[in-house]
């Protein structure tokens, strides 16, 4: 993964020890220019996480069971699943988010919805974590950090990169159709679908790892 290397100038303080200067404004601008969309979607997801964790108390048990298709909000039912059931439950949720992102990228005004996809994913993470902690206390927190969080973290990074790729292809589509610029859109679209396929494979890996964690460690917890 490409990044930006900040230049650290060695200076001597009064004690003769080397001092490190802060990154310059140009370094910060360079990071924002290269990773600005990823940072934006990460912030949208974090905002949704805090909002979801704060609002879980207002949901009824019926609503939480309904949300279990996308998030872990019905633990007793989830624990009944085997390896295949846990994998399908995890990947179905991940696939919905990736599919919605691709659909939004290829529609004229779909980029408006991309931040909301990141927000809703973060919202679900917050709801799941708060649901387990509020209902099962420390045991629920340990269950979340040991079993659920690894797969959630990997897929969240996958989704953020997918959303960033979706926004880039949307900009190229917009410039090609609206402003009439002569841009090799077909080549860009091919690269976009290759990236999306790669992200889908990562989502499969995250879902399989999530299912393995459920099958190996879920039996250690009694709810």
Higher pLDDT, 110 or 4: 110
For the cut 80, the answer to whether the pLDDT of residue 166 exceeds it is yes
* Mean pLDDT, range 78-106, rounded to an integer: 84
Residue 206 lies in a domain: yes
What are the tens digits of pLDDT across the range 9-37? 445 455 555 555 556 655 555 655 667 88
Over residues 43-50, mean pLDDT: 94
Interatomic CA distance for residues 148 and 146, integer angstroms: 6
Q: Among 58-62, 85-89, 169-173, 203-207, which is the least confidently predicted range?
A: 58-62
Residue 14 within a domain: no
Q: Tell me the average pLDDT across 42-68.
A: 80
Average pLDDT, the chain: 79
Indicate the pTM of the whole model.
0.78
* Residue 122 CB neighbour total at 10 angstroms: 25
**Considering the domain boundaries, does residue 105 fall inside one?**
yes
Q: Given this model, what pLDDT does residue 6 score?
A: 46
Poorest-pLDDT segment among 23-27, 101-105, 201-205: 23-27
Which is nearest to 71 in space by CA: 13, 4, 121, 139? 121
Q: What's the pLDDT at 161?
A: 94
Residue 32 belongs to a domain = no
Higher pLDDT, 114 or 74: 114
- Please give the structure tokens belonging to residue 76: 């007793």
Handedness of CA 39, 40, 42, 47 (dihedral sign): positive
* 106 lies in some domain: yes
pLDDT of residue 157: 94
In tens, the pLDDT along 110-140 reads 888 999 999 999 998 888 888 888 888 888 8
Range of the domain at 133: 37-220
Would you say residue 17 lies in a domain? Answer: no
Radius of gyration of the chain (CA): 21
Domain count of the fold of the chain: 1
Query: pLDDT confidence of 60, banded at 50, 70, 90?
Result: low
């Amino acid at each position: 993964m490409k990044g930006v290397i900040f230049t650290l100038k060695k200076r001597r303080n009064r004690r003769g020890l080397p001092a490190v200067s802060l990154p310059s404004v140009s370094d910060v601008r360079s990071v924002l220019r290269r990773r600005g969309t990823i940072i934006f979607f990460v912030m949208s997801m974090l905002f949704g996480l805090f909002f979801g964790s704060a609002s879980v108390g207002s949901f009824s048990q019926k609503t939480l069971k309904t949300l279990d298709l996308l998030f872990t909000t019905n633990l007793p039912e989830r624990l009944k699943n085997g390896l295949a059931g846990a994998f399908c439950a995890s990947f179905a949720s991940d696939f919905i988010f990736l599919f919605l992102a691709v659909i939004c990228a290829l529609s004229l005004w779909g980029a408006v919805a991309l931040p909301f996809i990141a927000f809703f994913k973060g919202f679900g993470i917050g709801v799941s974590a708060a649901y387990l902690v509020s209902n099962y206390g420390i045991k629920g927190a340990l269950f979340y950090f040991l079993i659920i969080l690894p797969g959630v973290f990997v897929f969240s990074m996958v989704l953020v990169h997918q959303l960033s790729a979706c926004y880039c292809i949307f900009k190229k589509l917009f410039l090609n159709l609206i402003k009439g610029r002569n841009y090799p859109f077909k080549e860009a679209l091919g690269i976009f679908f290759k990236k999306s396929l790669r992200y889908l494979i990562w989502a499969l890996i995250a879902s399989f790892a999530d299912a393995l964690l459920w099958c190996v460690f879920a039996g250690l917890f009694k709810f």
